[in-house]
Structure 1
Amino acid sequence: MRYSLVNRVRGTFLGAFLGARLADQHISHLGEMAVVGTKSLISLGRFDLEHWLKLQNQLSVGAENHQSWDKILFTTIPLAIFFHESPAKLRSGLLQLQNLWPDDPVVKDTTLILGYAIAQSLNEKLDHQTFIPSTVEFLHQTDTQLPQILEKVNIFVQQGKALAQVEALLAKEEPLIQSLAIALYCFLTTLEDFPLTIGRATHLSLKQQDVRGILAGALSGAYNSSLGIPINWQILAAATELPTWGLSNFVEMLELADKLVAVWSGVYNLAPENSAIAPTEDSISLGFTPLSIFAAPHIIRPR
């Protein structure tokens, strides 16, 4: 295994957050639903849409304020992580998640593509040569133009087109499709370079830089893990206060990410007091007490 699952999951959240932060300093309620969704998965150990809806209704702002693309994409991340090992469960869960916002085929397909890409990286199966064809297959039947757009992106990557050319060729596409295509292009052409990926994705003349930042950041963060993100960037994220997310700072988001992995992997006796998270010189790490026990799902049995 090139990177641990914990580091890849941290990288996914960190990447999405940093991508949005670099594009737009005003992140406000960006991750509020992602936080409550992650907490729901941790507390129940399963995905329960009704529980997500209940938690959403308890938020300080109405559900209508959670329908922007950046918030929807960020909300997709915890579910993609939780179901990353099962394409069928991943697809089913992401389709159920669409009930949190108004029906939009392009939004649906975009969340499916993001979730699938994250899952492929977490499973260490993402191959830049086969990623686009397998993603189109995962989308299955759709009324949107995204399969054709993905094929175009694949051709752009193979031909080595400059980013400015890609931007011009996609200029007439609707904004979300355009943002997804550019984020995928930036990711696939600089797979091993997290800063360059989100730097290219967010420093364009087009609108929706925050959406491209989240997409490119989540994709590259999952692929390169938190170890591939510069430590000074991690410190910047860790110090960010997030009262509108229901968190003191982003370190608490990483703590939730670690707990999500623990629940997914079958941790026994998980409790808030059993973990502590703190910045270190080379990473942001979570420490569990020696009493915590890990195993694959359904392996631990009652004594």
Structure 2
Amino acid sequence: MRYSSISRFKGTLFGAFLGESLASGGEIQFQSYLDLGRMAVLGTQSLIALGRLDLDDWIGRQQQESLHLVTTDDISIKIIIATLPVALFFHENPIKLRQNLLHVLKIWEDDPVVRDGTLAVGYAIALALTEKLDPLTLIPQIITFIGETPTSIPKNLLRVQNLLEQGAGLSSAEAEFAKEEKLSNIIPMAFYCFLSTLEDFRLAVLRATRNGNFKVQDATPLTSQATAAITGALSGAYNGTGGIPVTWQVLLLQRNSSAWGLTSFSQMLKLADVFGAVWSGVYDLSLNPRELTEEGCEVAPLSVYAAPRVIRSR
């Protein structure tokens, strides 16, 4: 593999966080008033705790954090970020991926645009993690994955492909989607920023943070941060943590400020490591000390590793 699975897992989550945190001037803001990823953290913690998708557990965690909210434009964007852990956890199997993405969306009100945006982002991340993402065929594959729909998401993604084939610049892409509704603008612009700078995480998210500052109708900080968060997730999944600038990573570790409701960025690192371990089937026997006894005597701790779908935690 070009990059390890855990590198892509981390790249997806860190990419989304960095995309949201970046100001239009290219500096990292450690205080975000939008907090797009708190629901994603809660979902990740649920998957870690249970090793499976359980809607009741997700709902309970959100209610405990007072995050069970009615769908609005702002919350719709948060929902797409919240589903990133599901895309990561079920990325190997397209059928299960689609089923579980649609299943988790039942937590919130049914919105066809949110559904299509979630499927588009989730499937692109899955293709990146399985190293099947071909920029020339990605958008047609996503449209097939979405299926029949009354929304404008497939049409807008085809417009993105046309812009890429024409070599159109960022300003042209912004003008193309200037009259679109907020969420219908964010999804195609995120794919444009990602695919137009496929191998450059830094440039992709910086271009995405500019979106919303010019020409786009009813531009808000949310538009810019949400576009950059989705772009960061896509680029992070494709390029892994190795594609994220070292200076940005060091800055986050040095400041070690809160991240998506966690007390520190270090805690976010650990969460991503544990999440990857649960997905891959690593047994953390230190969490189950009774399993380490043999006729009442403790034995040396062991760590068991396995390829995906070979051994899973029991």
8 Å CA contact 1:8, 1:122 repeated in 2: yes
1:263 shift after superposition: 1.1
The answer to whether residue 230 in structure 2 is matched with residue 223 in structure 1 is no
Q: Return closer, same or farther for 1:271/1:241 CA change in 2, 3 Å cut-off.
A: farther
1:1-303 aligned within 5 A: 1-23=1-23, 25=29, 26-28=31-33, 29-59=35-65, 61-64=66-69, 68-204=75-211, 205=213, 206=216, 207=219, 208-238=223-253, 239-242=255-258, 245=261, 247-271=262-286, 291-297=302-308, 299-300=310-311
SS in 2 for 1:63: coil
Whole-Å separation in 1 of the counterparts to 2:84 and 2:266: 17
Whole-Å separation in 1 of the counterparts to 2:240 and 2:105: 27
8 Å CA contact 2:70, 2:108 repeated in 1: no
Q: Return closer, same or farther for 1:84/1:181 CA change in 2, 3 Å cut-off.
A: same
8 Å CA contact 1:18, 1:237 repeated in 2: no
Corresponding residue number in structure 2 for 1:285? none
Which sections of structure 1, spanning at least 5 residues, go unmatched?
275-288
SS in 1 for 2:60: helix
Larger C-alpha radius of gyration, 1 or 2? 2
Q: In structure 2, what residue type is equivalent to 1:241?
A: S
Whole-Å separation in 2 of the counterparts to 1:130 and 1:65: 36
Could you list the per-position Cα deviations for residues 52-82 of structure 1 after superposition, in whole angstroms to 9, with x for gaps in the alignment?
A: 11111111x3412886244222211111100
**Which of 211-220 and 265-274 deviates more?**
265-274
Whole-Å separation in 1 of the counterparts to 2:51 and 2:114: 27
Could you list the per-position Cα deviations for residues 181-222 of structure 1 after superposition, in whole angstroms to 9, with x for gaps in the alignment?
A: 111111111100011001111113242001101111001111
Could you list the per-position Cα deviations for residues 91-114 of structure 1 after superposition, in whole angstroms to 9, with x for gaps in the alignment?
A: 111111212222211111111111
Whole-Å separation in 2 of the counterparts to 1:79 and 1:185: 23
Whole-Å separation in 1 of the counterparts to 2:136 and 2:224: 26
Whole-Å separation in 1 of the counterparts to 2:301 and 2:231: 36
Q: Return closer, same or farther for 1:256/1:114 CA change in 2, 3 Å cut-off.
A: same
Cα RMSD after superposing both structures: 2.4
**Which of 258-267 and 135-144 deviates more?**
258-267
Q: In structure 1, what residue type is equivalent to 2:304?
A: I
1:156 shift after superposition: 0.6
Could you list the per-position Cα deviations for residues 25-53 of structure 1 after superposition, in whole angstroms to 9, with x for gaps in the alignment?
A: 44254322211211111111111111111
1:3 shift after superposition: 0.5
Which sections of structure 2, spanning at least 5 residues, go unmatched?
290-299
Could you list the per-position Cα deviations for residues 246-283 of structure 1 after superposition, in whole angstroms to 9, with x for gaps in the alignment?
A: x2212212211111111111112355699xxxxxxxxx
Q: Return closer, same or farther for 1:251/1:161 CA change in 2, 3 Å cut-off.
A: same
